[in-house]
Amino acid sequence: MTADRRDFLKKTALLTLGAALPNVLESASAKSTEKNVLPDVSWRKLPRWRGFNLLEKFNGRNQRFVEDDFRMISDLGFNFVRLPMDYRMWITDGDWRKFDEKTLREIDEAIEWGQKYGIHTMVNFHRAPGYTVAKPQEEKLVWESEEALDVCALHWRTFAKRYAGIPAKNLSFNLFNEPSNVEIAPFMKVHRTLCEAVRAEDPKRLIVCDGMSWGTKPTMELAELQVAQATRGYMPMEISHYRASWVGEQLRDMKDPPQWPSVQASGGTIFYPGKAGIREDQKTPTIFRLASRCGAGQFRVRIRQVSSFAHLLAEAVDADGNVTRTLFDREYRPGPGTGDWVEVVHKPEWNCFQNIYHKDEVFEVPAGTAAVQLRVTSGDWLAIEEVGFRCSAVPQEVVQKVSSDWRSPAMEMRFCFQKGRGFWDGLEKRDAQWHWNEYVKPWKQWERLGGVMVGEFGAYNQTPHETVLAWMRDLMSNWKKAGWGWAMWNFRGSIGVMESGRSDVQYENWHGLKMDRKMMDLLQEF
């Protein structure tokens, strides 16, 4: 046992004697064997950290972190780890106000190893008291419950006191994972309260907040709290979550493997415009424009999923943008038991059904129709997965698959034909420039106020390897151009560079682990 380790254990042993929570770790400056020289940090401009998420205390797990992970990450030239953790692992007997010292000491170890190996460690409450994006949902929500907010503040205050004095270049706090579906007033109230709780114990601690909309959108109001923000690198999800078991049916059951770059129709989720939390560009109708020479035709739309209930209208629109007639009118009400759906999906966290339909609806389109528009006029939302159109000029139906990405704006496509061949135009090209425009450029306004990093990225092991590598290269090129750091979701695991379980990779042995050498070379390049 090293002298450093003996000194660390002596400090943490005081906690079991009933002492108040001390600063159990000292600055590594005097005694560390750091291999990387960590840069100084500021909430206004984050360093370009590169590293990984370590999942030993993620979503119900409660394993010790692994020192060899820190050693290998450092040896391979990386300098960052994020610890997405579940607060239930460090409470006692289900009492969210009582702390389990054994688990806290295991977190202490991870932070000590970060200092020892020259790695910045980011502590994240992936499941915080009163908040999670995982299942099951918290019983009391931090946005609504004063008790949940008080307990969440207690937890962050405890961590702040425990690690007070560790330099900000070594340690940061990431308050929540991917907040979404919350109004800005409670969002800011909660973040303000938690920042105050941290700074009451440790005024200089660097705080990083995830962006809204699952980490994809910057929250400009956070500037008043003097925090940095983290975004995500999972777009498009057809690549990052292809056939992943924990996502929705459309991605889970995709038959054709994704490609990068790609061309596709997105925006297949049609929202009721009065739904809270959606953007203005998601409130407009879904539009299918028709070439002027099409004549009368037949339109088909395949309904994939309905949330709660949805009243769908299909309307004919003339060249001046006026609605001329209703082509289709139906209300969908998913529920238990049997119906015109093929799968019952109950969401207890929202007390609603979101059933899967795979149902074709067909209607006639009169001559002179310039566009067909689809609207949900009441309810929640409805997702489509396919459209088809045939007309006198093109008698064979022309089919287009549709992606129902929640983050996409309302869809607009055009049906065209040449020499009797029909095709859909106006599809979205997804490539490096698309990624820059959609997921980097919107953050540039925030960068005038505070720093940015990518807290998570990567692709599940079912996506073809060469597609993943091409996609990662474009994303990391954009992040390097932007000056952002990043953290891959796994170091070891199905979205990682070690022990990923891919069937299309020839692994290299690295200290007893199966390394994806092509992916590792790519990561080290950036």
Q: Say how far apart CA 283 and CA 38 lie, in whole Å.
A: 46
Looking at domain 42-244+432-491, its CATH architecture is Alpha-Beta Barrel (3.20)
User: Average pLDDT, stretch 118-146?
Assistant: 96
Which amino acid would we find at residue 112? E
- pLDDT at residue 142 above 60? yes
Give me the residues paired with residue 381 across strands. Answer: 271, 307
Q: Which of 149, 172, 148, 169 is nearest to 160 (CA)?
A: 172
Give me the residues paired with residue 256 across strands. Answer: none
Which percentage of the chain shows pLDDT scores above 70?
93
- pLDDT at residue 26 above 60? no
- pLDDT at residue 35 above 70? no
CB within 8 A of 11, min separation 6: which ones?
22, 24, 25
Q: Say how far apart CA 106 and CA 57 lie, in whole Å.
A: 10
- pLDDT at residue 406 above 80? no
* CB-based contact 33:116 (threshold 8 Å): yes
CB within 8 A of 395, min separation 6: which ones?
none
User: Average pLDDT, stretch 257-261?
Assistant: 91
Angle among Cα 18, 199, 55 to the nearest 5 degrees reads: 70
Judged by average pLDDT, the poorest of 31-45, 163-177, 224-238, 504-518 is 31-45
- pLDDT at residue 18 above 50? no
Q: Say how far apart CA 61 and CA 475 lie, in whole Å.
A: 30
User: Average pLDDT, stretch 124-149?
Assistant: 96
Give 296's pLDDT tier (boundaries 50, 70, 90).
Answer: very high
Domain ranges of the chain: 42-244+432-491, 262-427
Give 32's pLDDT tier (boundaries 50, 70, 90).
Answer: very low
- pLDDT at residue 199 above 60? yes
- pLDDT at residue 185 above 90? yes
Give me the residues paired with residue 120 across strands. Answer: 80
pLDDT at 30: 36
Give 250's pLDDT tier (boundaries 50, 70, 90).
Answer: low
Class assignment of domain 262-427?
mainly beta
pLDDT tens track for 311-365: 999 999 999 999 999 999 999 999 999 999 999 999 988 899 999 999 999 999 9
CB within 8 A of 457, min separation 6: which ones?
232, 233, 234, 240, 472, 475, 486, 487, 488, 489
What are 256-261's contacts with CB under 8 Å, separation 24+?
257/463, 257/464, 257/467, 258/463, 258/464, 258/467, 259/467, 260/430, 260/431, 260/467, 260/470, 260/471, 260/474, 261/429, 261/430, 261/431, 261/432, 261/434, 261/470, 261/474
The most confident of 168-177, 210-219, 272-281, by mean pLDDT: 168-177
